[in-house]
Amino acid sequence: QVQLVESGGGSVQAGGSLRLSCAASGDTFSNYGVGWFRQAPGKEREFVARIGWSGVTDYADSVKGRFTVSRDNAKNTVYLQMNSLKPEDTAVYYCASNRARSTIPRNYDYWGQGTQVTVSS
């Protein structure tokens, strides 16, 4: 079992940057892939980015070129660097872990509590 805790959310103006962290504990973290998802009010949870246990990354089209996902297995932490933020990036951001490569929320086994990101215009 894996426990996940997100941090780093906050409020920024459009064009600004934030770095989210997802700290893991429990099972061997390096064996898991970690995905980032977000959910805005009244909308479904959507895929943002993912990094596999080997370092392979996937991104949603809406964040390609602006967001970068990385991991530090020695620190049991995955990061989401978000640059050139837009108001439409406003949402609660969640990290989640699983063993299979997927962009679908229901395929993830463990979830953090979420961290709020607000981008003002």
Percent of the chain residues topping a pLDDT of 90: 87
Task: Quickly state the pLDDT bin for 71 (edges 50, 70, 90).
Answer: very high
Length of the chain: 121
Task: Summarize the confidence of residues 101-113 as an average pLDDT.
Answer: 95
Distance CA 118, CA 121 (A): 10
* Predicted local distance difference test score (pLDDT) of residue 100: 87
Q: What are 24's strand-pairing partners?
A: 4
- Long-range contacts of range 99-102, CB-CB < 8 Å, 24 or more positions apart? 99/31, 99/32, 99/33, 99/53, 100/33, 101/33, 101/50, 101/52, 101/56, 101/58, 102/35, 102/50
Q: What are 108's strand-pairing partners?
A: none
* Predicted local distance difference test score (pLDDT) of residue 72: 94
Q: Is the pLDDT of residue 103 over 90?
A: yes
Q: Is the pLDDT of residue 28 over 90?
A: no
Task: Summarize the confidence of residues 24-35 as an average pLDDT.
Answer: 86
- Is residue 99 within 8 Å of residue 1, measured between CB atoms? no
Average pLDDT, rounded, for the chain: 95
Q: Is the pLDDT of residue 31 over 80?
A: yes
* Predicted local distance difference test score (pLDDT) of residue 26: 82
Strand bridging mode 46-51 / 67-72: unpaired
- Report the 10 Å Cβ neighbour count for 97: 25
